[in-house]
Structure 1
Amino acid sequence: MCEVVNQAVQQAVSRRRLLGGAGAAALATGVTAAAGSAAASPAPPASPAPGKGPGGDADARRYRSWLTLLGTSGGPVWWPGSEREGIGSAVVVDGDVYLVDFGDGSGKRFKQAALVPPEMRTPGGFWGEEMIRAMFLTHLHSDHVADYFDYFMLGWTNGLRSRPSQQPIQVFGPGRRIDEHGNVVMEPIFTKPGESTPDIRVENPNNPVPGTVDMTNSLYQAFALDINDRMRDNRYPDLREIFAINDIAIPDGIGYHPNDNHTPQGMEPFEVYRDDKVRVTATLVDHFPLVPAFAFRFDTDDGSVVFSGDTGPSRNLVTLARGADILVHEVITQQWVDVLMPPPLTPTEEALRNHLLSAHTLPEDAGRIAEQAGVGTLAFSHIVPGNAPDEHLNGARKHFSGRLVIGRDLMEFGIGKRGR
């Protein structure tokens, strides 16, 4: 989720401080909770056991392929009164596991989900890492990568050392923020109306816009003490031989430039990964200024699942999701935005509000996208705020004639026809 969420919260806090006194202090302290609940609506119920959530499929694991929503919350915020963990999903195809995004707490949900049944686990396998074949990152915002390296460091003692396949786990994510000529392009500095561009320090100036390969190499270095100890004292295998990290190349000739306000629309999905069980295609979506940002589609012999990633309404996503069984789409509620920035809005607040909404999708717009794509099920995940009541999300039903599900952690869906 865009860092603009935090900016919006701070903007709302600053505005309310004008009220003065103890009451204003209390309101400022609780602005996140108020924005999430909009007049103290009840928080979502606690997360169910795998496959038991209302709206999901209780018998999902009787299908050869199924989807598990690991974490369903969005944003770099610990939402009060919410049982949702950070964004993360798993597609299971005939015992093999494919993961999408790694938000805070999603690793814990992966452990709780126990995706691999006991009879299929190898000795010492606890999480299911032994059956992971590939991992995918839609983009590199903190709320999508917080638990990413847990699968490396904790996976060592949870199945990675006893994987039946000796093939590396393939990891795919965005590359550096560069133009078509390979030049680094920093994102523009967000400024308020009438404000001159401030001088902001650049972190890691030698590589200020790292991609997935860069990020992973830096994490190896950051944890060098632990890695070297485990390899020398415990004789653990080299993590670099277990994982193969790949930056996703953006197709040539589509008119892409990092600092365009919108990604090129009308592009055809392109293949990212393929094995004997799944084909994964991708497209660029609108999460400006964080680019590149991808949506992914998983096609199996049983059916198809699409993940929107973080995006505003996108024609590219409609093309990618055409005819899919399930579309897992991010969502932000109008009520939360209105509580943060109630009218009348100053020009600064109006700019911040528009910036926030252009990078994310309202429920009604997600419903339109799902209807245009002709998907069977629309499942909301990466829900902002994470404690949003269902009534703030049901607006999608006005425009979508299929099955709408408000995602909760560990909810599961069968893909295609039942039968293992």
Structure 2
Amino acid sequence: MTRKYEPLTATEAAKYRTRVTLLGTAGGPPWWDGSDRNGISTAVTVNGQVYLIDCGEGWGPQFRKSGLGPAGFQKGLDNLRAVFITHHHSDHMVDYPNLLLLAWHNGSDGLKQPIQIHGPGDRGVLPPIFDEDKREHLPEVFHPKSPTPGLVESSEKLLQAYALDINDRMRDNAKQDLREIFQFHDIELPAGTGDDPNGNPTPAMDPFEIYRDENVRITAILVDHRPIFPAFAFRFDTPDGAIVISGDTGVCQNLVTIAEGADLLLHECIDLDWVDGLLGPDSPKPDPNLMQHMLAAHTAIEQVGPQAEKAGVNTLVLTHLVPGNTPVEKWQKAQVGFSGNLVVGEDLMHFGLGEPQG
């Protein structure tokens, strides 16, 4: 009988060598009325080592509440091994600076092994302007010297912006050089892949390895979140099973490819009735620009179940929910077209893979 992965308490999950924790489950930059969901962020823990995916708003306090890090004053990040950013939209990175600047005060003091941070590289070309021929005023290019920076360049510039604080902490508090605590990596696409981000951002491809250590092997694949590029889904293969995190994507064969046979698929989801009521032609303030993005770059409740079914996954967990205040009962309609186990994600929900260790 195929095992169903159901949510666990933090105490129950702590018994598992491999576990998944939803730190935040809201998608999008807005603050959702009537919702206590935090910004999107997920943690995978294997053998006590934590791998963080995305740094949405509030991930830090949520990480603390989750109990994943060691307790005690100025502790918490000492077992953070690596960080992976799916794409460069603000709701996935807005609290990334917190990681860099607060690590000194919440662990990682005197760290011997740097935290590895991996994220999309430079897009290489500006995205097209939607409905360009209908716009009265076209936007000027912001920061034309480098308008599409990758993870490495963005991280270096963030540290430069906080040079005063960094210099003060190192000179006055004798803090360790931040360049010894973190190592930044642009995810390099396989040769010949992604050459046409404005035309075909998700060519058919195989997942490719971006990280490996004694606990996990992590592969990535391009998913369709146009015009954002690169946008990745990640797969974590562990001794106890496979976890796939979709990132932001519309319906996409590459997502099915990387998720094939996974134990847990954490997939974004959007309520298109809400989109139509807010932005559609009959809404109080129609917004065709944002409307077309929502329709093309995200996966609707009606679409996500068939995606998971094609991949043959065990358990589908909905996260990055837009809007964050849609009732759970509506998200549960994603079960249609999916024969596996469906879970509507909530903040600080835990899952354990494999068997409990005592």
- TM-score range (shorter-chain normalised) is over 0.9
1:167 has 2:120 as partner: no
Cα contact 1:325–1:416 (8 A) shared by 2? no
Aligned to 1:153: 101
**Partner in structure 1 of residue 127 of structure 2:** 187
Question: Which structure 2 residues correspond to residues 234-383 of structure 1 after superposition, within 5 A?
Answer: 234-254=173-193, 256-260=195-199, 262-264=201-203, 266-342=204-280, 344=282, 352-383=290-321
* C-alpha separation in 2, matches of 1:101 and 1:157: 20
Matched, 1:126 2:75: yes
- Equivalent position of 1:102 in the other structure: 55
The answer to whether the Cα contact below 8 Å between 1:312 and 1:360 also exists between their aligned partners in 2 is: yes
How far apart are the structure 2 equivalents of 1:316 and 1:126?
39
Counterparts of 1:189 and 1:350, CA distance in 2? 13
- Mapped to 2, the partners of 1:245 and 1:82 lie a distance apart of 34
Question: C-alpha deviations, 1:206-256, integer Å up to 9, x for none?
Answer: 101011001100111110000000000000000111100000011112364
Aligned-pair CA distance for 1:278: 0.5
C-alpha separation between the residues in 2 aligned to 1:117 and 1:216? 26
Whether contact under 8 Å (2:110, 2:176) holds in the other structure is no
Structure 1 residues 65-122: Cα deviation after superposition (integer angstroms, max 9, x where no partner): 100000000001011111100000000001100000001111211111120355xxxx
1:27 aligns with none
Q: C-alpha distance in 1, partners of 2:138/2:119?
A: 30
Deviation, structure 1 residue 138: 0.1
- Provide the secondary structure at the position in 2 that maps to 1:160: coil
Q: Give the letter for the 1:56 counterpart.
A: P
Matched, 1:205 2:144: yes
Q: CA deviation at 1:350?
A: 5.6
Distance 1:365 1:80 in 2: 26
Aligned 8 A contact 2:244 2:266 in 1: yes
Aligned twin of 2:8 = 57
Say which SS state the counterpart of residue 78 (structure 2) adopts: helix
Tell me if the contact between 2:201 and 2:222 (Cα under 8 Å) persists in the aligned partners: no
Runs of 4+ deviating beyond 4 Å: 342-346, 348-352
What is the SS of the residue equivalent to 1:405?
strand
Give the secondary-structure state (helix, strand or coil) at the position aligned to 1:130: coil
* Aligned length, in residue pairs: 351
Q: Whole-Å Cα distance in 2 between the matches of residues 160 and 196 of structure 1?
A: 49
Q: TM-score, normalised by structure 1?
A: 0.80
The letter of the residue matching 2:56 is G
Check the 8 A contact 1:261/1:288 in 2, yes or no.
no
- 1:343 to partner: Cα distance: 5.4
CA contact (8 A) 2:277 2:283 kept: no
Q: Report the alpha carbon displacement of residue 55 of structure 1 after superposing the two structures with TM.
A: 5.2
Contact 1:212 1:245 in 2 (8 A): yes
Amino acid at match of 1:254: T
Percent identical across equivalent pairs?
A: 51
Is 1:390 equivalent to 2:328 in the alignment? yes
CA contact (8 A) 1:124 1:162 kept: no
CA RMSD of aligned residues (A): 2.0
1:165-219 per-residue CA deviation (whole Å, 9 max, x = no partner) reads x1211100000012xxxxxx11111227x51573312111110101100110011
Letter in 1 for 2:8: D
Distance 1:386 1:344 in 2: 23
Which residue in the other structure is 2:20 paired with?
67
Q: Out of 134-143 and 149-158, give the one that drifted further.
A: 149-158
Partner of 1:86: 39
SS in 2 for 1:154: helix
Relative to its length, the structure with more helix (as a share) is 1
Separation in structure 1 between the aligned mates of residue 100 and residue 282 of structure 2, nearest angstrom: 49
Aligned partners of 1:395 and 1:277: how far apart in 2?
A: 35
- Larger radius of gyration, structure 1 or 2? 1
Alignment-derived partner of residue 90 in structure 2: 142
How far apart are residue 124 of structure 1 and its match?
A: 4.7
User: How many Å apart are 1:342 and its aligned residue?
Assistant: 4.8
- Provide the C-alpha distance between the structure 2 equivalents of 1:117 and 1:56, rounded to a whole number of angstroms: 22
Find the residue that maps to 1:81 and give its secondary structure.
coil
| Letter paired with 1:134 | A
Residue segments in structure 1 that go unaligned for 5+ positions in a row: 1-53, 179-184
**Per-residue deviation at 1:330?**
0.5
Once residues 231 and 327 of structure 1 are traced to their aligned partners in structure 2, the CA distance between those partners, rounded to angstroms, is 42
* Contact 2:280/2:288 (8 A) holds in 1: no
The answer for unaligned runs of 5 or more in structure 2 is: none
**Alpha-carbon distance, 1:340 to partner:** 1.0
* Aligned-partner Cα distance in 1 for 2:135–2:98: 41
Structure 1 position 351, deviation (Å): 6.3
